[in-house]
Chain A
Amino acid sequence: MVAVTLWGSLRALTDGQAEIEVEASNFKEVLTALEQRYPALAPQFERGVSMAIDGVIYKESWATPVRPDSEVVLMPLMVGG
């Protein structure tokens, strides 16, 4: 299991949960597992999300591996500048 931290705005869509444990081994699987549990997250995922894995921000790379001890933080997709 991987513990995924959600950013503040998403917590309204997960019954206030800030951290959710899911079964996943990469970026994509984390999203799929979260979406299954909380379908309300789908529109936000569609708009785009980044994922910080052990402090490194991945914009969209779905195959990026996630280990059970990884720190996984969901973040909004960042573009512009």
Chain B
Amino acid sequence: MESGNMRYLAPKTVTEAAQLLADSDGIARVLAGGTDLLVQMKAETIAPDLLVDIKHIPGMREITAEAGGWRIGAAVPGAHISEHAGLKADWPGVVEAAALIGSTQVQGRASIVGNLCNASPAADSVPALVAADARVQITGPKGTRDCAVIEIPVGPGKTTLQRGEIVTAVLLPARTGIGADACLRFIPRTEMDIAVCSAAVNVTLDESGRCSAARVALGAVAPVVLLVEEAADILVGSRLDRATLERLQSVCSKAARPIDDKRGTAEFRREVVGVMARRAARLAAERATAKAGEKA
């Protein structure tokens, strides 16, 4: 790995961590799971002068119930998320999306905050976080703020985070009514690939079983995750029947703005992202209906 003058620090508070990042006069990076960062360091695409390991800060490795929803610390690894029954009951789509990131080994380290801040257009967990309308909490030199997940990435490798700012947690909202989410991605193998395209759908059902609210997000078909409001509008008011889902598929395909690359053609991505959206919507609907059944 790169030259030997990199410093590694493991502060015990967020404020201290933010200060270290802000004060650094070279390239400084936050280290949580490190599953993207260490790969970039090995490839010499980045040579940080300072790594700030946030795993020793209290709360960073915890999942806690908060305001009816959930707070997921910035360094919680995917494996921990998958094991959390409460989170899984409320946000099965977010949990399955987090589980998509890398292998079992990567799951032992990789965090959804890292996945978000790496700002890859193909990030596995981001469409589900956007569909869930998740927010992130951020601490920086000027204090603490929070913002919607969708506002973080602005392009491949680029985020809106300011110098010295650290994302400390993902906040998943409380579920209102009966709802569920689902996330699917397309890859050529069954595991270990970067998403060729992906889709996450989050639906809420009213008492009659109609969709009362929905969010649909697409991954790897644009420089950033796409929130497709037109797709959500199609779902709202429907019973998520076959015809509706087929319209959803077509709208999602149209909304996609993919490129050709080594992982797939634009044409393929446009077509398949619609399929993923339709299937994810059906899965979300099935989950929500099952929950309605449990309550009834």
Please tell me whether chains A and B touch each other in their complex, using a CB distance cut-off of 8 A: no
Residues of B that sit less than 8 Å from A by CB = none
Residues of A that sit less than 8 Å from B by CB = none
